[in-house]
């Protein structure tokens, strides 16, 4: 069911953006409810950043239409800009200033004047940066810079916040901290549209997820819906001898009919299995071929396996097309 105009923060129909012969965004539709976190999931080069830049009025669509908080993207971009804020993949901060000075400067530009210091302190407290308020940004860790960058986009609280790969390059602890902050913003009613190539990030944060590959939306739903649509179960096997992985993959694909996904370490395989009986037959074939296993299991598909089933490659693999992000 389509959301009505009062509940929708973003509606888009048939958005297209081309660069020369390259169709970076190819007819994408979106419906994002107010006050929710909506994830755009895809590999590098899928068109995620290009889509965000169009919705943020930084790129003009070549075709299609969109409305943000009721304002038309093309005919009233100035009204759209009043409702949005955007944080890109790289921090846009003055590294020679302190964290507090960066926020005060932005607050003054937004008209806070005598209240600029108070607003800066409020944001530093909210983002757990008060202890580093008077340190130069060049001395901040990656996670601290990311939080300060997002805080800077919230000097004036927007109705819609665009976050382009907000945790790229962060360590697990910093990533968890940014996730808590994003959830808190959504809890305060801010609509958040985030792009990510991290399956876990989309799974943890987003109420709904659109999967994008080569500029097209190939699936959309909740994490549970996407997993259910892929199938009931996946067979996971860990090989005793990683050198046998090619042969093991061929046997599994012959018996189960799909494509086996390899983990990054190269010693484990995952493949869709339509039934326990089919999985048992595939395991028997491995045993008969003398391929020893360290372990195996059947489980519901992960979001990573959903993405692989939909696209044929992992979410963090980059197509070699030169396509804009």
The answer to whether residues 139 and 93 touch, using CB atoms and an 8 Å cutoff, is no
pLDDT tens sequence across 24-39 = 999 999 999 999 999 9
Residues of the chain with pLDDT under 50: 1-3, 318-323
310 in a structural domain: no
The answer to whether residues 12 and 30 touch, using CB atoms and an 8 Å cutoff, is yes
Q: What is the pLDDT of residue 313?
A: 64
Mark whether 197 and 83 lie in a shared domain: yes
CATH number of the domain to which 162 belongs: 3.40.50.300
Supply the Cα-derived Rg of the chain in whole angstroms: 23
Cα separation of 24 and 50, whole Å?
Answer: 7
pLDDT tens sequence across 96-122 = 999 999 999 999 988 887 889 999 999
The boundaries of the domain holding residue 259 are 233-300
Mark whether 80 and 144 lie in a shared domain: yes
308 in a structural domain: no
321 in a structural domain: no
Q: What is the pLDDT of residue 252?
A: 94
Q: What is the pLDDT of residue 320?
A: 39
Mark whether 238 and 175 lie in a shared domain: no
212 in a structural domain: yes
Cα separation of 224 and 104, whole Å?
Answer: 42
Q: What is the pLDDT of residue 103?
A: 94
Q: Does residue 15 sit in helix, strand or coil?
A: strand
With CA atoms as reference, report the closest residue to 47 among 261, 232, 322: 322
Mark whether 238 and 285 lie in a shared domain: yes
With CA atoms as reference, report the closest residue to 213 among 308, 89, 86: 308
Q: What is the pLDDT of residue 274?
A: 78
Q: Which of 227, 261, 283 is the last residue of a domain?
A: 227
Q: What is the pLDDT of residue 3?
A: 47
- pTM over 0.85? The answer is no
Mark whether 77 and 158 lie in a shared domain: yes
Handedness of CA 183, 184, 189, 192 (dihedral sign): negative
Cα separation of 214 and 1, whole Å?
Answer: 26
Mark whether 80 and 30 lie in a shared domain: yes
Mark whether 220 and 239 lie in a shared domain: no
Residue 302 structure tokens: 């992960």
61 in a structural domain: yes
With CA atoms as reference, report the closest residue to 154 among 85, 104, 100: 85
CATH number of the domain to which 269 belongs: 3.30.70.100
Q: Which of 162, 192, 227 is the last residue of a domain?
A: 227
The answer to whether residues 226 and 211 touch, using CB atoms and an 8 Å cutoff, is yes
Q: How many residues are listed for the chain in this entry? A: 325
Mark whether 216 and 284 lie in a shared domain: no
Mark whether 176 and 237 lie in a shared domain: no
Beta bridge partners of 191: 160
222 in a structural domain: yes
323 in a structural domain: no
Q: What is the pLDDT of residue 231?
A: 63
The packing angle between helices 99-109 and 142-152, to 10°, is 10
3 in a structural domain: no
Number of domains, the chain:
2
The packing angle between helices 142-152 and 172-187, to 10°, is 20
The structure tokens 């370490």 sit at 265
Q: Which of 208, 227, 246 is the last residue of a domain?
A: 227
End-to-end alpha-carbon separation of the chain, Å? 30
Mark whether 278 and 130 lie in a shared domain: no
Mark whether 220 and 266 lie in a shared domain: no
Mark whether 36 and 115 lie in a shared domain: yes
């Amino acid at each position: 069911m389509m959301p009505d105009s009062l509940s929708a923060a973003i509606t888009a129909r048939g958005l297209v953006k081309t660069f020369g012969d390259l169709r970076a965004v190819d007819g994408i539709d979106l419906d994002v409810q107010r006050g929710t976190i909506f994830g755009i999931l895809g590999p590098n080069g899928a068109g995620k950043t290009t889509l965000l830049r169009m919705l943020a009025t930084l790129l003009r669509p070549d075709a299609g239409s969109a409305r943000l908080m009721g304002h038309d993207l093309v005919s009233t971009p100035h009204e759209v800009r009043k409702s949005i804020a955007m944080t890109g993949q790289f921090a846009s901060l003055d590294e020679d200033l302190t964290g507090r000075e960066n926020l005060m400067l932005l607050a003054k530009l937004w008209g806070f004047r005598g209240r600029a210091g108070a607003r800066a302190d409020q944001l530093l407290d909210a983002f757990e940066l008060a202890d580093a308020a008077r340190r130069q940004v060049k001395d901040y860790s990656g996670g601290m810079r990311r939080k300060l960058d997002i805080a800077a986009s919230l000097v004036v609280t927007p109705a819609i916040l665009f976050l382009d790969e907000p945790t790229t390059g962060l360590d697990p602890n910093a990533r968890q901290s940014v996730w808590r902050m994003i959830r808190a913003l959504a809890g305060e009613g801010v609509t958040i549209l985030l792009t990510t190539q991290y399956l876990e990030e989309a799974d943890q944060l987003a109420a709904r997820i659109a999967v994008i590959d080569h500029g097209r939306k190939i699936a959309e739903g909740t994490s549970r819906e996407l997993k259910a649509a892929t199938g009931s179960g996946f067979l996971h096997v860990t090989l005793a001898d990683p050198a046998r992985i090619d042969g093991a993959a061929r046997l599994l694909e012959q018996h189960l009919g799909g494509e086996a996904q390899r983990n990054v370490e190269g010693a484990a395989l995952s493949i869709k299995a339509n039934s326990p009986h089919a999985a048992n037959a595939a395991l028997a074939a491995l045993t008969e071929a003398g391929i020893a296993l360290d372990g195996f299991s059947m489980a519901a598909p992960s979001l990573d396996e959903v993405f692989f089933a939909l696209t044929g490659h992992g979410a963090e693999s980059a197509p070699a097309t030169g396509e804009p992000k």
